[in-house]
Amino acid sequence: MNVAFLGLGVMGYPMAGHLAKKGGHTVTVYNRTAEKAGKWAKEFGGKHKATPREAAEGQEIVFACVGNDDDLRSVVLGKDGAFAGMKSGAIFVDHTTASSEVARELFEEGKKKGIAFIDAPVSGGQAGAENGALTVMCGGDDAVYKKAEPIIAAYAKMCRLLGASGAGQLTKMVNQICIAGVVQGLAEGLHFAQRAGLDGAAVVDVISKGAAQSWQMENRYKTMLDGKFDFGFAVDWMRKDLSICLAEARRNHAHLPAAALVDQFYSEVQKMGGSRWDTSALIARLNR
């Protein structure tokens, strides 16, 4: 297929690469920093354009992975936005972690132009993007999803339609709510083990064989014990995601006391200079 990818950050860069190499698609990219788009095109053999509109022109599917609601609107709407260049019948797949409100807004805007919109936030982090093993949570029309899913498979180990427009973003919120509690629990457990004079690695080797096991434990306990946080999903990004979760909870009257508390703990990590640290840096706050 002829496809475009808008946004070449730590996630988008390898995702677009998988579309070109693994998927075998003809890929045109756009990035706010043009030099990075040029680098990608040189590495993967695709094209790069100066605006989202130019990148999207004539494409069957346009993918995006940018920072937040405002970034998403900036690459989709307006005279230089992707929608201005897309043809009727084309599909826009958004991998940004954003609000369900902006997903529904763009779904409706696309409908006016005959453009289908799928909200499709991802989980799995930078490693998942690089390894082509992301989990993708989708919202939108079933017939449109069925067309997009085989293309998304180039970088996904799991992809599923969860409901109408916005359902993908709501599912990603559930994902982040669950992660926040798990990471805080792991941080407290490891902190307790250290203060109790236990061998943290030995403790994890035992308890990871039981009910306490988690992805976070398996992948982060060593670096948490060593106080290393210079990789993975940044605290700034997690706070952005949790702010979306908490705003949605105010609208739907869900109760998220633990998520709200962990969000405040992350604000303390930011004040410690840990804005770009990995989310596992919650243990640094306890070990001060």
CATH number at residue 11: 3.40.50.720
36 is catalytic: no
Which of the listed residues 164, 182, 217 is the one where a domain comes to its end? 164
Beta-carbon contacts of residue 267 (< 8 Å; ≥ 6 apart): 239
187 and 273 co-located in one domain? yes
Q: Which of 64-73, 79-88, 196-205, 229-238 has the lowest mean pLDDT?
A: 229-238
Do 145 and 261 fall within a single domain?
no
Q: Angle, to 10 degrees, between the axis of helix 167-195 and the axis of helix 100-113?
A: 160
Same-domain check for residues 135 and 189: no
Q: Do 38 and 17 fall within a single domain?
A: yes
Cα dihedral sign, 148-64-28-79: positive
State whether 78 and 124 are in the same domain: yes
Task: Locate 249 and state its tokens.
Answer: 């909870």
Total domains in the chain come to: 2
Q: Which of 172, 209, 240, 271 is flagged as catalytic?
A: 172
Domain coverage including residue 260: 170-286
Q: What is the pLDDT of residues 205-235, one digit of tens each?
A: 999 999 999 999 999 999 999 999 988 789 9
**Listed residues 164, 193, 217: the one ending a domain:** 164
pLDDT one-digit tens code per residue, 91-103: 999 999 999 999 9
Question: Given this model, what pLDDT does residue 139 score?
Answer: 98
Residue 185 pLDDT exceeds 80: yes
Q: Are residues 251 and 137 in the same domain?
A: no
Q: Which of 149, 164, 179 is a domain's end point?
A: 164
Give yes or no: residues 120 and 211 share one domain.
Answer: no
pLDDT value of position 232: 77
Domain co-membership, 186 together with 218 = yes
How far apart, in Å, are the Cα atoms of 153 and each of 3, 16, 25, 229, 240?
A: 14, 12, 12, 30, 27
